[in-house]
Amino acid sequence: MSAQVISFPTPERPEPETKEVRIVADCDEGYTRLANTLLEALCRVDITPRQMRVFLAIVRKTYGYQKKSDWVSPEQIAKIIDYEGCESNIRKDISTLKKRLLVVKKGPHIGPNPVITDWLLSVERPKKDGPKQHKNVSISTHESVESDTKTCGEQPPQKKEEKPKENINKPIVGKPDEPSIPEQVISYLNFKAGKRFQFTKNNLGFINARIKEGFTLDDFRGVIDRKVAVWLHDPKMNQYLRPKTLFSSDNFDSYVNAAIVPAGINQIPNGIPTQPAGQQYAPAGHQKPQSNREQVSDALTDIHDTDW
């Protein structure tokens, strides 16, 4: 007699459930101290999304370790922002941030520029003329827009970037990498008044005309500070916080003098000697009118000195 094997059905085992890993930000695990002024300026700056990620990575590798600057390689930045494209694009982004003065580089070290007034918050976009350009041609922000999915070896040969013609309305001031005085004035106005004025020919023309008349960067900043304090929260006057009104030939000289607040010694611009508070400066060839007492005193002196 042979034994009969009875097979019982095997119960199916449930697959283990995979739990999602939740990451919750907590300052107890570390934080980066960032000035509110820098954070607000970062909200206004006109840069590409990848340039913003590169800038924040530099902030993390410097301010995150209580350093003003440090050696940060493109490989480290690509790892932080989880970038799988060509590292040459990261180098171009760093170069653009340096030209816009958002970051400063000293030797191999790089870090955020804490002087917000030096930042170029916006750039003038070139007008779209002629045939459409290929999507791989570089744009004015010097960022190559080739697809991130391609590797460096698969990218087509790059065309040489055509340098835009220099603006004849832009004076050469200081070092080549240093922004001109008109650009600094526009950036300062945008920062103080929350505007987005571009470096157009008309806006720069008002400033260049006043510079030729002898006004300085401090004069422009003084006018901006004074008018922003008075007009910023005035719904009717806020619209006049613009280059056309502030820097016109009809208004600027009076605005500069209105911005001078006497405190002990009057500081008169453009190299004119300073005078004590309360005394009016008399240009060469003009005599201050005498008071009645001085006229009587001079008359008595003349009578006394006359040879009778």
pLDDT of residue 225: 93
Residue 18 CB neighbour total at 10 angstroms: 6
Give the per-residue SS3 of the chain: CCCCCCCCCCCCCCCCCCCCCCCCCCHHHCCCCCCHHHHHHHHHCCCCHHHHHHHHHHHHHHHHHCCCCEECCHHHHHHHCCCCCCHHHHHHHHHHHHHCCCEEEECCEEEECCCHHHCCCCCCCCCCCCCCCCCCCCCCCCCCCCCCCCCHHHCCCCCCCCCCCCCCCCCCCCCCCCCCHHHHHHHHHHHHHCCCCCCCHHHHHHHHHHHHCCCCHHHHHHHHHHHHHHHCCCCCCHHHCCHHHHCCCCCHHHHHHHHCCCECEECCCCCCCCEECCCCCCCCCCCCCCCHHHHHHHHHHHHHHCCC
The Cα 94–Cα 283 span in angstroms is 52
The Cα 191–Cα 219 span in angstroms is 17
pLDDT of residue 307: 52
> Is residue 207 within 8 Å of 182, Cβ to Cβ?
yes
Fold of 32-121: Arc Repressor Mutant, subunit A (1.10.10)
> Is residue 180 within 8 Å of 172, Cβ to Cβ?
yes
* 247 Cα distance to chain centroid: 20
Kindly report the pTM of this predicted structure.
0.41
- Domain boundaries along the sequence of the chain: 32-121, 181-262
The Cα 216–Cα 278 span in angstroms is 25
Reading the chain (308 residues) residue by residue, the pLDDT tens digits are 566 777 767 767 767 667 777 888 888 778 888 889 988 998 999 999 999 999 999 999 999 888 989 988 899 999 999 998 898 999 999 999 999 999 998 888 999 999 999 999 887 665 555 555 444 434 444 444 444 544 555 555 566 666 655 554 554 444 445 788 999 999 999 999 999 999 999 999 999 999 999 999 999 999 999 999 999 999 999 999 999 999 999 999 999 988 554 444 344 344 333 444 344 444 444 455 555 556 556 655 555 554 54
pLDDT of residue 135: 43
pLDDT of residue 178: 72
pLDDT of residue 26: 80
The Cα 33–Cα 129 span in angstroms is 45
CA Rg value for the chain = 32
Tell me which amino acid residue 64 is.
Answer: G
Unique residue bearing structure tokens 């698969």? 154
> Is residue 83 within 8 Å of 94, Cβ to Cβ?
no
pLDDT of residue 275: 42
pLDDT of residue 301: 58
> Is residue 195 within 8 Å of 178, Cβ to Cβ?
no
> Is residue 144 within 8 Å of 158, Cβ to Cβ?
yes
